[in-house]
């Protein structure tokens, strides 16, 4: 590969990650949930987080420029070569891939990043609140189990508007 990606500085990483973690998702916001796939002895064992963006293109830009570098210090592989592969994969789908291309990209990136990080989900906030994917249903079920006012009912029903603030707060700590 002729292009060697330049690693963002720690300040640049912080400036990209902090807003993505603290962004208040709205129905059309795009997000991704990823978790560490490093072995437990290397600070891994599945800790994860949601990252939120105004658009799908912003989410893909974050993946390409910043998320690709996460956990890379623990890898024995050539970091620049790995990131170049991630960037090429993201570039191959363009800024607005359809659901099928986005799913293919997710599977491809998860293969590339095995033992570093994994993307368990990406999509719109509204899809997480109301969608029927296994991940959306799992997240909602865990939310309802924790919700005291509801008596800890275990189901995956959609999140009503009045519960959105509590659900957003729940997502900020999901996976930690």
Note down pLDDT in tens along the chain; length 176 residues. Answer: 457 788 899 999 999 999 999 999 999 999 999 998 876 655 556 789 999 999 999 999 999 999 999 877 655 568 888 999 999 999 999 999 999 999 999 999 999 998 889 999 999 999 999 999 999 999 999 999 887 665 666 689 999 999 999 999 999 999 87
- Cβ atoms < 10 Å from Cβ of 71: 18
Identify the pLDDT of residue 131: 96
Please state, in angstroms and rounded to a whole number, the distance separating the CA atoms of residues 130 and 166: 15
The tokens for 68 are 């690709």
Identify the pLDDT of residue 1: 46
The tokens for 29 are 């916001």
**CA 69, 65, 58 angle in degrees (round to 5)?**
130
Is the distance from CB of 9 to CB of 65 less than 8 angstroms?
Answer: no
Is the distance from CB of 102 to CB of 122 less than 8 angstroms?
Answer: yes
Identify the pLDDT of residue 115: 84
The tokens for 157 are 């029903």
DSSP classification of residue 77: S
Identify the pLDDT of residue 56: 97
The tokens for 91 are 């570039």
Identify the pLDDT of residue 44: 53
Please, what is the end-to-end C-alpha distance for the chain in angstroms? 36
Look at residues 75, 59, 55 and name the one whose alpha carbon lies nearest to residue 7: 75
Identify the pLDDT of residue 4: 79
Identify the pLDDT of residue 74: 57
């Amino acid at each position: 590969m002729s292009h060697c990606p330049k690693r963002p500085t720690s300040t640049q990483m912080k400036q990209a990650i902090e807003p993505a973690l603290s962004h208040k998702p709205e129905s059309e916001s795009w997000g991704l949930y990823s978790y560490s796939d490093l072995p437990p002895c290397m600070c891994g064992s599945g800790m994860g987080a949601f990252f939120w963006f105004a658009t799908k293109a912003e989410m893909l830009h974050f993946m390409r420029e910043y998320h690709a570098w996460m956990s890379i210090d623990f890898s024995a592989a050539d970091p620049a070569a790995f990131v170049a592969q991630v960037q090429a994969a993201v570039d191959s789908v363009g800024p607005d891939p359809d659901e099928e291309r986005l799913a293919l990209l997710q599977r491809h990136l998860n293969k590339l990043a095995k033992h570093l990080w994994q993307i368990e989900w990406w999509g719109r906030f509204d899809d997480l609140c109301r969608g029927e994917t296994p991940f959306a249903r799992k997240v909602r079920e865990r939310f309802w189990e924790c919700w005291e006012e509801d008596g800890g009912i275990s189901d995956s029903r959609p999140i009503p508007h009045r519960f959105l603030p509590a659900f957003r707060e729940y997502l900020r700590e999901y996976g930690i």
